[in-house]
Amino acid sequence: MFATYLIGLREGLEATLVVSILVAFLVKSQRRDRLPQVWAGVGLALALSVGFGSLIQYTSTSLLRTSESRELFEAVTSVAAVVFVTWMIFWMRRAARTIAGELRGKLTDALAVGSLAVAGMAFLAVIREGLETALIFYAAAESAAGGTGPGSLLALAGGIATAVVIGFLLYRSAVRINLSRFFTWTGALLILVAAGILKYGVHDFQEAGVLPGLNDLAFDISGTLDPGSWYGALLAGMFNVTAAPTVLELVAWVAYAVPVLVLFLRKPAKPAKPVQSAEPVQSDEPVQSDEPAADTSAETSAAPADAAAVPSPRS
């Protein structure tokens, strides 16, 4: 349950921050007349995201007749979810410092075009998060014991609702949180969740007969890690840590989690300071260089430094 709540919280907050930037820009630019188009684009993106999630669930439960085809479908969606999680985490890490400026620039261009462009801008800004959430939720819920049942849906909805509340409070400047630390911690947890999803995908590939070694266990600690205990269920539900994994499952979990965590938690390299000459050149002409200027604006931080990344309409 916590894994799906975390997915809803993380993806929901990203989408909420994007919408907050767009709304605040329109309010401060005295273009409140374009707000209905923004909300129309957001609503359409949410509707399509829900429809995409329903399509995935319907495909798994109704269209696929054999257990082997269902296992293969779940394995493919698991691998796809891991790819999206990894891309999303590192994209936010890289682009967090510049996303607000980029969104404002694109919205300015959209305002010059017309209402449909504004709605399309909001739609594209939200639809990526919505489709990712639907795919990742399905894979994470299937890898947990409960599947995509009411409990998992409620946990996802709770995470999204929490994200909306946090985003609204940030927009109104009622709270200030360290977004850099928030995205770092949630990103690290999501990497562990993704490692569990990948492990589940490998198990599905083995059950579908695509990969060998279904009965080759790496270890069996069922006597120590009781699957029926609360902590066993917690580890299995969050990170798909089980008492008797196969060799390939264990290899996949470790091979993904360790290097990705190291790369994610590693601090970005600081840009080198330019070397100054001891004797400045005296010339009436500007000094030209063949070296291109370094662009380090997107690499200065892992995530937004604080809540100031969301402009307040009251400032």
Instruction: Go through 108-123 and write b for each residue having 16 or more CB atoms within 10 A of its CB, e for each that does not.
Output: eebbeeeeebbbbbbb
Alpha helices in the chain, H assignment, sequence order: 2-28, 35-58, 67-95, 99-113, 115-143, 150-171, 179-207, 230-239, 247-265
Phi, psi of 161 (to 5 degrees): -65, -40
pLDDT for 2 beyond 90: no
Half-sphere exposure in the Cβ direction for 4 (13 Å, CA): 27
User: How many Cβ atoms from other residues are within 10 Å of residue 260's Cβ?
Assistant: 21
Are the CB atoms for 41 and 123 separated by under 8 Å?
A: yes
Are the CB atoms for 171 and 186 separated by under 8 Å?
A: no
pLDDT digits (tens, 9 = 90+) for 60-107: 888 887 888 888 998 999 999 999 989 988 888 777 667 778 878 888
Band (pLDDT 50/70/90 cuts) for residue 254 is: very high
pLDDT digits (tens, 9 = 90+) for 49-67: 999 989 988 888 888 878 8
Instruction: Go through 271-286 and write b for each residue having 16 or more CB atoms within 10 A of its CB, e for each that does not.
Output: eeeeeeeeeeeeeeee
Task: Give the integer Cα–Cα distance in Å for 191 and 182.
Answer: 14
pTM score, two decimals?
Answer: 0.74
Q: What is the 3-state secondary structure (H, E, C) of 245-295?
A: CEHHHHHHHHHHHHHHHHHHHCCCCCCCCCCCCCCCCCCCCCCCCCCCCCC
Question: Is pLDDT larger for residue 211 or for residue 293?
Answer: 211
pLDDT digits (tens, 9 = 90+) for 205-227: 999 889 999 999 999 898 888 87
